Amino acid sequence: SLFNERLLPYLLKYEYYQDAIDIIEELIRTHQASFELINNCAICYKQLGQYKKALYYYQQVELLNNKDTSILKDISICYENS
């Protein structure tokens, strides 16, 4: 919903990662997944220490933008911690 889309930046800013994940995953299911949504989902899972889930989303991000080498660092961190 539009409300959730507007709420999401605040949840991320104030580190309500699980609430953000709930909204992001709903948005991904109901809209075309965007780079920004998938990347934010990966970041949230990483911040919660859920590295296997973060890795899944980082791999999706890398498929969408393989020119950003910082994603490889995040993928490496997830492998090391999962």
Name the nearest CA neighbour of 62 among 72, 54, 49.
Answer: 72
What is the predicted pLDDT for the residue at 79? 94
Give CA–CA dist 34/39, Å, rounded: 8
Q: Give burial (CB, 10 Å; 0-12/13-18/19+) of 11.
A: buried
Two tokens at 2?
A: 């539009």
Handedness of CA 40, 37, 26, 5 (dihedral sign): positive
Whether residue 13 has pLDDT greater than 90: yes
* Residues 36, 20 contacting (CB under 8 angstroms): no
Give CA–CA dist 9/33, Å, rounded: 17
Instruction: Give the tens place of pLDDT for each residue, 20-79.
Output: 999 999 999 987 789 999 999 999 999 999 999 999 999 999 998 878 888 999 999 999
What is the predicted pLDDT for the residue at 5? 84
What pTM was computed for the model?
A: 0.91
